[in-house]
Amino acid sequence: MNTTLRSARARAIAGWTGVFAAACGTLWLAGCTNNADGGSGDGPVTYETGHALGDFVGAWTAAGWAQGAEGPRREIRGTAEGVRDKNYFVRLDVSYPDPASPTPVTGTCVFAQMGGRTVKLTTWFSSSPIMRQYIGTMSADGKRFTFEDGGRTLILKVNGSTSWEAEVWNDGRQIEGYTFTRTGG
């Protein structure tokens, strides 16, 4: 009798798990519109940034420079790997040599679709304890993303399917510039 009860419970749990999985699969396939309006009463939210964020998916080589307020301009070369993460995110993992250490600097950038042409970008690197969050917008043609966080501005420019550029500005002065060139899928 105990075995039968356990088996009945297991069948019930398995049934609900199957229903839940089917519902999640349906939501994932829908992907373009979220019927939740966040309490605004405006109705469904349309996500316009998904296709354009796909331009960051793939393997990249990076070449560029960075310059602190007081220091010399440093040339930087590295790699990046962009992957789709769940349905509304792109994760970009970055690595480049640290001239001051034998250990490379690694970083992660996560793009999150926020609805419409709005994107949140969260970044963190092994070279700093600071996690940055930027809220930005995508241009109507999907080729330019502009993010702001206080006096810092990050501009990403997509140059077709084979390259993109990143500029970092601090209080109106460009402090970093990189070009990413596709090396694979």
* CATH number 2.40.128.20 given to 50-184: yes
How do residues 130-160 score in pLDDT, each as one tens digit? 999 999 999 999 999 999 988 899 999 999 8
Say how many Å lie between the first and final Cα of the chain, rounded.
Answer: 56
Q: Which helix (H) or strand (E) holds 92?
A: strand 89-96
pLDDT at residue 123, as a whole number: 94
- The three-point CA angle 121-125-128 to 5° equals 115
pLDDT at residue 134, as a whole number: 93
pLDDT at residue 1, as a whole number: 41
> pTM of the full predicted structure?
0.74
Sorted by where each begins, the domain ranges of the chain are 2-46, 50-184
Find out whether 118 and 136 touch, Cβ atoms under 8 Å.
Answer: yes
Q: Which two tokens stand for residue 5?
A: 């009860």
Residue in this structure with the two tokens 């793009």, named with its chain if needed: 111
pLDDT at residue 19, as a whole number: 33
Provide DSSP, 118-178: EEEEEEEETT-S--EEEEEEE-TTSSEEEEEETTEEEEEEE-TTSEEEEEEEETTEEEEEE
Per-10-residue mean pLDDT of the chain, 185 residues long, equals: 39 33 29 46 78 94 89 91 92 89 92 95 93 95 93 93 94 94 82
**DSSP at 116:** B
- In 3-state terms, what secondary structure has residue 37? coil
> Which residues on adjacent β-strands are paired with residue 78?
62
